[in-house]
Amino acid sequence: MPRIRKRLVSIFLFTLSLATVLALQPASIAAPAPDHAPPASPLIVSPGARCCMGMTYDGSHNQIVLFGGCCDSMGNYWGDTWTWDGTNWHNVTPATSPCPRVSTRMVWDGHQVVLFGGTGALPSCATGGLQSDTWLWDGTSWTPCNLAHSDCTNPNQPTARESEGVAYDQSNPPDATSGKVIMFGGNSHVADGQPSTPDELLAAAAPTNDTWQWDGSVKDWTKLAPSGTLPCNRNSAGLAFDFSASRNRILLFGGQGDSSCSGGVAGPLNDTWTWSGTKWVKCSDAVCNPNGLSVRTGHRVAWDNDAAIQRIVLFGGSSPGCSNTGNLCNDTWYIDGGAWTQQSTTSQPTPRCCVGLAYDALHSRLILFGGAAANRVNQSDTWEWSGTPGSWCQAGVSC
């Protein structure tokens, strides 16, 4: 238990001290609620305060699914499962579930929700530290892939990791059973899982830059060999699929890099890449980031399918560019095939990193939950984002 608390403290110390570590090395008119907004009503129940959870939209059952995160009042990782129906959260934790963990990633593959990896702790997990298991959510239950399907025991499955980037890949259309998912990077090693200082965290993290593809039709992972130049080693990159028919690609932004990145100094990044199906292509700052979206980690990105403005939206994270809020950000940016552009808002969540963010396709809005705010305080609020013209409102309070 003390080791878990110790890791939690180090995560927040790292977030709040990021600018210091790097320094030692070479608003508008409020928009009216859209017509399809549900009436404001108090939330009946909500997941406990947390950050670093897995969260995604389940397109097969038209609901958002949330799992795990850090941490409960005793400092333990969460191992519960919740769904969001557009108005309220529901605790649907089944008896058989992944062991409690933090920094796991979840994504819908066109048929089912896939969960991979994260960091767990003994005795809840069979092995403490980084996990390498794959679980499938069918709307009511979790199934451990490697136990339920003999075709899930590929010896080339991804190594144990946390904070990887994942995105559904519609450029590989789903078959009658399922579709494809791309996974990039993540931390493949953290010294015994429990670094205790910001410097130790930077030294212990071993981000990677490998690319894996999940094929839901055979329920298996395959390591890809992209041609050309790859994004440098990193964890916590933001990945999302751009569903626009004219683009139809995965976009990657930022994350926490290591010394393999430009400048040879570990730290947050602000580069933009796209995945073409066979290779990663870097978008120059002159094209994709002339407006100064700052380097950051712990941010989240998601597709916003508003009929008027189809785009990828980015929220928050940790960045020295947000130094006036303790390096925690609450800015909102979007990219719609051109350049990253900051969205002016008069109401938004408080500065934070490591939130849950997913697009609720049934109700045509992004849903944001929780995250780590200043003073190491995890949050339990739910926010909704309406893409046109762009506004945040707090569920049960202002929307």
Q: Which of 277, 309, 183 is nearest to 239 (CA)?
A: 183
Backbone angles phi, psi at 204, to 5 degrees: -80, -35
Residue 99: inside a domain: yes
Residue 311: inside a domain: yes
Q: What is the pLDDT of residues 260-281, one digit of tens each?
A: 898 787 899 999 999 988 899 9
Running DSSP on this structure, what letter comes out for residue 397?
A: T
Q: What is the pLDDT of residues 163-203, one digit of tens each?
A: 999 999 987 665 544 589 999 999 986 544 443 333 334 44
Structure tokens at 127: 């092995």
Residue 329: inside a domain: yes
Three-point CA angle 380, 398, 67, nearest 5°: 25
pLDDT at 2: 42
Weakly modelled stretches of the chain, pLDDT under 70: 1-43, 147-156, 172-178, 189-205, 307, 387-389
CA distance linking residue 194 with residue 186, whole number of Å: 17
pLDDT at 160: 92
Count other C-beta atoms under 10 Å from residue 37's C-beta.
15
pLDDT at 84: 97
**Cβ–Cβ < 8 Å for 47, 380:** yes
- Distance, CA of 330 to chain centre: 15
pLDDT at 31: 28
pLDDT at 41: 59
Strands of 300-305's sheet in order across: 300-305, 310-318, 328-335, 341-342
Q: CA 360 → CA 37, 39, 50, distances in Å? A: 12, 16, 20
pLDDT at 201: 40
Residue 251: inside a domain: yes
Residue 248: inside a domain: yes
pLDDT at 1: 43
pLDDT at 174: 54
Residue 249: inside a domain: yes
Q: Which of 191, 190, 193, 161 is nearest to 6 (CA)?
A: 193
CA distance linking residue 56 with residue 116, whole number of Å: 13
- Show the domain range for 53: 2-394
Residue 83, classed as helix, strand or coil, is strand
CA distance linking residue 85 with residue 216, whole number of Å: 25
Residue 399: inside a domain: no
Tally of domains in the chain: 1
Residue 397's contacts (CB-CB under 8 Å, 6 or more residues apart) are 40
Residue 294: inside a domain: yes
Q: Report pTM.
A: 0.85
The domain that holds 56 is classified in CATH as 2.120.10.80
> How are the residues of the chain apportioned to helix, strand and coil, as percentages rounded to the nearest 5?
15, 40, 45
Residue 14's contacts (CB-CB under 8 Å, 6 or more residues apart) are 21, 198, 201, 202
